[in-house]
Amino acid sequence: DVQLVESGGGLVKPGESLRLSCAASGFTFRGYAMNWVRQAPGKGLEWVSSISNTATSIDYADSVKGRFIISRDNADNSLTLLMNNLRVEDTAVYYCARVERFETAYYGMDVWGQGTTVTVSS
Amino acid sequence: IVMTQSPLSLSVTPGEPASISCRSSQSLVHGTGRTYLDWYLQKPGQSPQLLIYLGSNRATGVPDRFSGSGAGTDFTLKISRVEAEDVGVYYCMQPLQTPYTFGQGTKLEIK
**Residue A103 carries which DSSP code?**
T
Cβ-nearest to B32 among A44, A45, A104 = A104
Is pLDDT at B17 greater than 90 in this prediction? Answer: yes
Is pLDDT at B90 greater than 90 in this prediction? Answer: yes
Q: Name which of A43, A96, A106 to mutate to probe chain B: the one with the most chain B Cβ atoms within 10 A of its Cβ.
A: A106
Rounded alpha-carbon distances, angstroms, from residue B14 to A100, B45, B61, B77, B84: 34, 21, 21, 17, 7
**Is residue B50 less than 8 Å (CB to CB) from chain A?**
yes
* CB contact at 8 A, B100 and B1: no
* CB contact at 8 A, A43 and A22: no
Is pLDDT at A103 greater than 90 in this prediction? Answer: no
Q: What is the largest CA-CA distance in chain B?
A: 42
**Is residue A2 less than 8 Å (CB to CB) from chain B?**
no
Q: What is the pLDDT of residues A34-72, one digit of tens each?
A: 999 999 999 999 999 999 999 999 999 999 999 999 999
Cβ separation B38–A109 shorter than 8 A: yes
Is pLDDT at A101 greater than 90 in this prediction? Answer: no
pLDDT at A102: 83
pLDDT at A99: 97
What is the average pLDDT value for chain A, to the nearest integer? 97
Average pLDDT on B6-16 reads 97
**Is residue B103 less than 8 Å (CB to CB) from chain A?**
yes
